[in-house]
Structures are given as structure tokens and as C-alpha cells.
Chains A and B, each alone.
Chain A
Amino acid sequence: AQSVTQPDIHITVSEGASLELRCNYSYGATPYLFWYVQSPGQGLQLLLKYFSGDTLVQGIKGFEAEFKRSQSSFNLRKPSVHWSDAAEYFCAVGAGHTDKLIFGTGTRLQVFP
């Protein structure tokens, strides 16, 4: 069955530091992979997505992610974190002909000044 694992429940970084959020997936075919961000009480905003082609994907707000098939990973990175990046981050895989999304449990990012 398809699944997504985000091993880090909570990460704290200082403003200006680099960031990497981990995501591992389990899916039999070539996956469609997504990263979403959610602020408290809000819906989900798409940061970036991978379908095929270049394995390094650029997204909004300065985020990027790298698809590594051999490691079944799709880690999210940002070179310099801003205080406004504090939020919950969800990795997801698109599954089946309906393209329903299977989400991980999320990583809460806290940013210290």
C-alpha cells in the first residue's frame, strides 16, 4: 500500500539557517510527489511538485526538493529560513488513477530569531 513517512515531528531552526525536511514514500509505480505548507487554522498551500524529468524541483518561497528514487525520498530544502516559514509541512504522494493524495503526518517547523 502507498504510504508517506515524515520522520521528524518537530524541527527548530534559527532564522537564516539552512533547512532540510525529510520525506520517504512507498509506492509501486513512478510517484507524483508534493510538498504542502499549512499555517495554523488554514488550508494547504502547494510549495512544489515532482512528476518526471529533472529530479531537483524548484518551488515557491525559495524552497526546493530532490527526488531520489534509489532512496524513495523527496526531501525539502531551503538555504536560509525566514521567521515567516514557521508552519506545518506535509509531504504527499499522488496515488492511483484518481490521483488522491496520501499525506505524511507532517513536520512542524519552529523558527527562532
Chain B
Amino acid sequence: DTGVSQDPRHKITKRGQNVTFRCDPISEHNRLYWYRQTLGQGPEFLTYFQNEAQLEKSRLLSDRFSAERPKGSFSTLEIQRTEQGDSAMYLCASSLAVHTEGYGYTFGSGTRLTVV
């Protein structure tokens, strides 16, 4: 297993366009998280999946954002009608449940979104 993969690494889009990012977690991890990181800040939680169920969404996740994890494997994060304020690094992470052996997050390298 090569870890958590995110695609694309970089995305430049015009304001108002829709974008979709993909995350492939570590195969045996049942938990998947999306975070957003703006320049000079720590990552901020966006949403969380346990298997295919989306169990928590942050207030940061406006109606323009939607995330899915069909079949509990890879996940997609879509942003509709992008705004300049959406420019950020979008990080995906996966983990086992906390009380299991080897618990710990593994982060992907992120997708950097620039809205022009």
C-alpha cells in the first residue's frame, strides 16, 4: 500500500467553475477525513466518513461543497461555483478507529486549488 493518494496535486480554475478532487485512502482504513488548509494556518476539519456514511460536516462546508465515499473506498470532494476564497490546500486523511491497533491518521499530499 502506497499510502493516501490525492488527485490532482494542483488545480487552477476560473471563478464560478466546478471542481472535483479525489482521494484514495489506505485500503484497510475505514475512516476518511477532508481538511482545508489556507496559507499560514493549520488544517481545518471539513467532513468525516466512516465507511460510506458521512457522519459529520463542519460549518465550513457550505452548500457549494459536497463529498461522497461510494462503497466506502475512495472519496470525492466537489466544489460548485468556486469563489476566490476557496483557494486553499485540500487534504485528505484516513485512519482506523481510535481503539484499534495501529490507530493513527495518514495524510495525503493534498490538492492545491487556485481560483482566479
- Could you tell me which A residues sit within 8 Å of B by CB distance? 4, 32, 34, 36, 41-46, 49, 51, 90, 92, 94, 96, 98-106
Contact = CB atoms under 8 A, between A and B. Distances in A.
A105 B105 contact: no
B56 A44 contact: no
B25 interface: no
Interface in B52-66: 55-56
Contacts of B33: 100-101
B38 to A, nearest CB: 11
B48 A41 contact: no
A99 B45 contact: no
29 contacts: A4-B42, A32-B98, A36-B107, A42-B109, A43-B91, A43-B108, A44-B91, A44-B93, A45-B107, A46-B105, A46-B106, A49-B104, A92-B42, A96-B56, A98-B50, A98-B55, A98-B56, A100-B33, A100-B45, A100-B56, A101-B33, A101-B35, A101-B45, A102-B45, A105-B40, A105-B41, A105-B42, A106-B41, A106-B42
Contacts of B22: none
Contacts of A96: 56
Contacts of A49: 104
A105 B44 CA distance: 10
Nearest to B49: A98
Given A43-B107, A98-B56, A103 B91 contact: no
A interface, over-half SS: strand
Contact of B110 (A36, A43, A104, A106): A43
Nearest to A34: B105
